């Protein structure tokens, strides 16, 4: 049974439940006895069921107001990362127990990054996706200056991982959902994997659609 069939059966069951809660009128009985609901199910199976607006128009029903889309990005806060010690990305980003580092991340990001000194600070803002979106849609909403430099993203992600080493709650989502950081060449995806550790991987920008609930980080202006 396909998704359309299950949806139609569910709606038909809902109609029958509503009717059973009241004394059925002659119109209600016509719907049941004339096989109207069965026709809807068969139309769904044949993929000939019209879209809801056209169906309502054919039935002489009032057109429904469009359902508004949720915002693409739902702001969740800002954070400042201040390094307590010198960060060497080449040393930190090596696969070990609790951390998987994709070779492409080392080749494309680590190779372009430099060490960061203790005391350096980075201001960030982050938001969760309110609906499914592509990289281009996300980047359009983020606007100008949403890229991290390779050195920046390495230091920031390392600090977050150190604070949530065992998958604790924190700034990074820890339920398997992606935490995204855009650079000029790729998008860095950091996620907690199967309760066993963090994974740091990269994807080409524009090649994916991200599901709602993922988290997006971007640089924030320095606080005065």
- The separation between CA 16 and the C-alpha centre of its own chain, rounded to angstroms, equals 36
Instruction: Give the span between the Cα atoms of 103 and 81, in whole angstroms.
Output: 26
Instruction: Give the span between the Cα atoms of 150 and 68, in whole angstroms.
Output: 37
pLDDT for res 50: 66
Residue ranges, the chain, pLDDT below 50: 1, 3-4
pLDDT for res 32: 63
Scored b (16 or more CB within 10 A) or e, 18-49 reads: eeeeeeeeeebeebeeeeebeebbeebeeeeb
- The separation between CA 219 and the C-alpha centre of its own chain, rounded to angstroms, equals 19
Helices (H), 61-177: 89-92, 103-108, 135-142, 150-163
Instruction: Give the span between the Cα atoms of 41 and 22, in whole angstroms.
Output: 24
Rg (CA), the chain: 25
Strands 73-82 and 99-101: unpaired
pLDDT for res 4: 46
Strands 99-101 and 197-203: parallel
Residue 197: half-sphere exposure toward Cβ, Cα within 13 Å: 9
Extract the tokens encoding 59.
């039935």
Q: In terms of residues, how long is the chain?
A: 224
Question: 132: closest CA among 69, 183, 179?
Answer: 69
Instruction: Give the span between the Cα atoms of 95 and 195, in whole angstroms.
Output: 16
Extract the tokens encoding 196.
């066993």
pLDDT for res 68: 85
Residues 6+ apart with CB under 8 A from 212: 70, 128, 129, 130, 131, 132
Domain ranges of the chain: 3-58, 73-219
DSSP classification of residue 170: S
Nearest-5° Cα angle at 181, 179 to 186: 120
pLDDT for res 109: 98
Question: 175: closest CA among 193, 156, 199?
Answer: 193
């Amino acid at each position: 049974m396909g998704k359309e069939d299950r949806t139609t059966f569910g709606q038909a069951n809902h109609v029958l439940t509503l009717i059973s809660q009241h004394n059925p009128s002659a119109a209600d009985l016509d719907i049941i006895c004339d096989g109207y609901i069965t026709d809807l199910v068969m139309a769904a199976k044949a993929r000939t069921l019209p879209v809801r607006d056209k169906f309502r128009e054919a039935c002489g029903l009032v057109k429904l107001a469009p359902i508004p889309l949720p915002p693409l990005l739902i702001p969740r806060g800002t954070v400042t990362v201040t390094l307590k010690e010198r960060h060497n990305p080449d040393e930190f980003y090596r696969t070990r127990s609790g951390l998987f580092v994709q070779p492409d991340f080392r080749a494309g990001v680590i190779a372009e990054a430099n060490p960061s000194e203790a005391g350096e600070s980075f201001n960030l803002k982050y938001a969760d996706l309110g609906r499914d979106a592509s990289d281009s849609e996300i980047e359009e909403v983020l606007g100008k200056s949403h890229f991290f430099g390779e050195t920046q993203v390495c230091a920031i992600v390392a600090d977050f991982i150190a604070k949530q080493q065992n998958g604790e709650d924190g700034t990074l989502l820890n339920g398997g959902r992606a935490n995204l950081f855009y650079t000029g060449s790729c998008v860095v995806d950091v996620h907690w994997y199967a309760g066993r550790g963090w994974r740091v991987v990269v994807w080409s920008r524009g090649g994916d659609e991200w599901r709602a609930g993922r988290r997006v980080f971007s640089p924030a202006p320095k606080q005065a």
